[in-house]
Amino acid sequence: MQTIDLEATGLRDLNATLQAQSADTNQTAWEIVNAKGSHALAVGLDAPIDVTVKGSTGYYCGGMNKQATIRIHGSAGPGVAENMMSGTVIIEGDASQYAGATGHGGLLVIKGNASSRCGISMKGIDIVVQGNIGHMSAFMAQSGNLVVCGNAGDALGDSLYEARLFVRGTVKSLGADCIEKEMRPEHLEILRDLLDRAGIDAKPEEFKRYGSARKLYNFDVDNASAY
């Protein structure tokens, strides 16, 4: 385990060290202490390393992540895992606004609640929230899966494209062009896999699925992978 104390090492040097790790590195386990809400922590990683952050973080922690597993032992500020490509980000606490925004891949797990615009413009990322999410979540979501074990706020899925939304609790209101859809066996399998990977004990049968009514844009289902 490599331990970096942010009180002794600057943020720029910390990120440079983590970004320098290669795919064949033998320094695979890292711990960051005294995070104290630092912004842009552990961004742009591109190696299969495991990074544990002790404490809460500021803006954009884990942004642009590829391959790495980042565990935040606290809460995360706005834009956590923004534009993530692959890998995993796990937040033990709550997440602020636009968690997982524009994410192309990977898995974001939020053990607490997520604020507004969770999964905005998501492009293939999988997001699992154990608690509730705020208003305008999955706005213009293009692809991927958003799983909410609690409740969802106003305007869920407004103007979304082909992302799948699964909510176990109540939805305050649906956004434009978002409707409840049939939960078919293949969706139950997708949901079961995501819950298992997130380590959350919940039954897929307890969730409802929401998606696009496809009335706001010219859509050809054969081109779904292009969105």
The owner of tokens 């997708």 is: 190
Strands (DSSP E) contained in 12-160 are 29-33, 50-54, 69-73, 88-91, 107-110, 123-129, 143-148
What dihedral angle (degrees, nearest 10) is formed by the CA atoms of 89, 90, 93, 97?
Answer: 30
Least Cα distance to 109 among 127, 133, 86 occurs for 127
What's this model's pTM, rounded to 2 decimal places? 0.95
Report how far apart, in Å, the C-alpha atoms of 13 and of each of 5, 8, 49, 87 are: 11, 10, 17, 22
How far apart CA 91 and CA 168 sit, in angstroms, is 20
Q: What is the pLDDT of residue 216?
A: 80
* Upper half-sphere CA count for residue 50 (Cβ side, 13 Å): 4
> DSSP secondary-structure letter at 133?
B
Q: Domains of the chain: which residue ranges?
A: 1-96, 106-218
C-beta of residue 14 within 8 angstroms of C-beta of residue 32: yes
Strand, helix or coil for residue 14: helix
How far apart CA 219 and CA 160 sit, in angstroms, is 12
How far apart CA 77 and CA 119 sit, in angstroms, is 14
Least Cα distance to 131 among 102, 111, 101 occurs for 111
Per the document, the length of the chain is 227
Q: What is the pLDDT of residue 202?
A: 97
Q: What is the pLDDT of residue 215?
A: 86
How far apart CA 126 and CA 74 sit, in angstroms, is 21
pLDDT in tens, the chain (227 residues): 999 999 999 999 999 999 999 999 999 999 999 999 999 999 999 999 999 999 999 999 999 999 999 999 999 999 999 999 999 999 999 999 999 999 999 999 999 999 999 999 999 999 999 999 999 999 999 999 999 999 999 999 999 999 999 999 999 999 999 999 999 999 999 999 999 999 999 999 999 999 999 888 666 666 666 65
Tokens of residue 60, six digits: 């954009």
